[in-house]
Chains A and B, each alone.
Chain A
């Protein structure tokens, strides 16, 4: 555990890191980024908390069971979204043209609209959930292992 200054700054900074990561995940179909990148941004915030606080402290709020359920549900949502378009082909984008994320942008460069992209933003959310939970679980397990603690169920 580091000094009180570092812990206070980490406590304030984690909010901005999580918001930025969620922005990168949610706008994956408009701006550069997506589920993998935004998830990695949020996990970097988790690593910052792990450095500022001890792994035993972080273990109380990040349960391994919860992380496992989050990661598995992300994977299942991703595969279900892929299977929705099985009537045409696997990974067919069925939501284009519907009111949910169905807008079609003009050809060429443009600012873009949030309600576009069909299933792509939903898949970005699923992959982001998966990356956040998976990498957090790996980092936490490695930190607990190196400090000689048991991985919490």
Chain B
């Protein structure tokens, strides 16, 4: 009973937070701060020489983010190969 009451209170608080947060968002397509967007749209082609501004953001302005993405891929591949090989080896020894 006590757990259910606690769960209900947590649920009400969470729903209230989410509803208030959704109600306070900006209308779609009208962000609050546009200084960064305008700068990238106006200067990306001249600064990076790339016609694809998305590629310019991915590999130049936010290159560190792409490096993290590549690291995630590397870790995933390493983990899969390590896991499969280790499980095979354990089967053989047992």
Give residues in A with beta carbon < 8 Å to B: 28-32, 34, 36, 64, 71, 75, 78-79, 82, 90-91, 93, 96-97, 101-108, 110, 112-113, 116-120, 123-124, 127, 130-131, 134-135, 137-138, 141-142, 144-145, 150-151
Q: How many whole Å from A142's CB to the nearest CB in chain B?
A: 7
Q: Is the CB of B50 within 8 A of A82?
A: no
Closest to A79 in B: B67
Q: How many whole Å from A122's CB to the nearest CB in chain B?
A: 9
Which residues of chain A are within 8 angstroms of B36 by Cβ–Cβ distance?
none
A-B contact pairs, 24 of them (CB 8 A): A28-B55, A29-B50, A30-B51, A64-B81, A71-B77, A75-B71, A78-B70, A82-B63, A90-B64, A93-B60, A104-B46, A105-B45, A110-B51, A112-B51, A118-B49, A120-B55, A120-B60, A127-B66, A130-B73, A137-B80, A138-B80, A141-B80, A142-B80, A145-B84
Which residues of chain A are within 8 angstroms of B73 by Cβ–Cβ distance?
130-131, 134
Closest to B63 in A: A91
Which residues of chain A are within 8 angstroms of B51 by Cβ–Cβ distance?
29-30, 105, 110, 112-113, 116-117
Q: How many whole Å from B43's CB to the nearest CB in chain A?
A: 9
Which residues of chain B are within 8 angstroms of A118 by Cβ–Cβ distance?
48-50, 60
The distance in angstroms between the C-alpha atoms of A116 and B85, with both chains bound, is 43
